[in-house]
Amino acid sequence: MTRVYWVRHGPTHQTAFTGWRDVPADLSDTAALARLDAFLPGDAVVISSDLLRAVTTADAILGARDRLPHDPGLREFDFGAWDGLHFSEVADRDPDLSRRFWEDPGDVAPPGGESWNAVAARVGAAIDRARQATGGRPLIAVAHFGAILAHLSAAGAMTAHDALGHRIDTLSVTEVLPDGTGWRIGRINHKP
């Protein structure tokens, strides 16, 4: 099995729901990017979501590593009608639904968007495809808060609610490691 190093893309400075909206990452902290690059295995294969903030972050840490094509399966949650709205606007607009979305994740979805379970299935399939393409080498997956937590939940056999309690900062590394029969979780939200 392939070791997966999840990297959350660079900061976007967004103050609203940001799912499939294609906003750029601020990659001006070149020292942080250099530390991240140095921390990650040099023989790893890199893949990213196809959203600009993940693609450019992956490009910034690629170095001499091999690169797989961008995969839309690694995208952030599709927040549907909530994308671009401030959290308070969503709470005012859809108070019960927005509360259930965070407090009882699973099949609850924003209007026109995706549920936790849908994202977990999509991300799991994307990681399985990528792992098969690495030839057993480590995989660096540059993606988003929701994608990382969805895989963390599946790998750690924790509930979605428990996974949402983890902090995943921009330019952080979260490791999911093979343990012989499945997965175990290594570092979470490590800032090199």
Contact (Cβ atoms closer than 8 angstroms) between residue 66 and residue 45 = yes
pLDDT value at 77 more than 90: yes
State the pLDDT at residue 174.
97
3-state secondary structure of 137: coil
Side chain identity, residue 96: D
Q: Using CA atoms, how far apart are residues 66 and 44, in angstroms rounded to an integer?
A: 7
Confirm whether 9 is a catalytic residue: yes
User: What domains does the chain contain, in order, with CATH numbers?
Assistant: 4-185 (3.40.50.1240)
Confirm whether 151 is a catalytic residue: no
Which residue is catalytic, options 9, 70, 144, 151? 9
Report residue 183's pLDDT band, with 50, 70 and 90 as the boundaries.
confident
Q: Kindly calculate the radius of gyration of the chain based on its CA atoms and give it in whole angstroms.
A: 16
- The per-residue pLDDT for range 104-151, each reduced to its tens digit, is 989 999 999 999 999 999 999 999 999 999 999 999 999 999 999 999
- The per-residue pLDDT for range 27-54, each reduced to its tens digit, is 999 999 999 999 999 999 999 999 999 9
State the pLDDT at residue 182.
81
Contact (Cβ atoms closer than 8 angstroms) between residue 27 and residue 187 = no
Check residue 157 and report its DSSP letter.
T
pLDDT value at 3 more than 80: yes
State the pLDDT at residue 140.
98
Report residue 155's pLDDT band, with 50, 70 and 90 as the boundaries.
confident
* Tokens coding 170: 């921009």
pLDDT value at 1 more than 80: no
Tell me which of 79-93, 114-128, 148-162 is least confident. 148-162
Which residue is catalytic, options 13, 70, 76, 161? 76
Q: Using CA atoms, how far apart are residues 113 and 67, in angstroms rounded to an integer?
A: 29
Q: Using CA atoms, how far apart are residues 156 and 159, in angstroms rounded to an integer?
A: 9
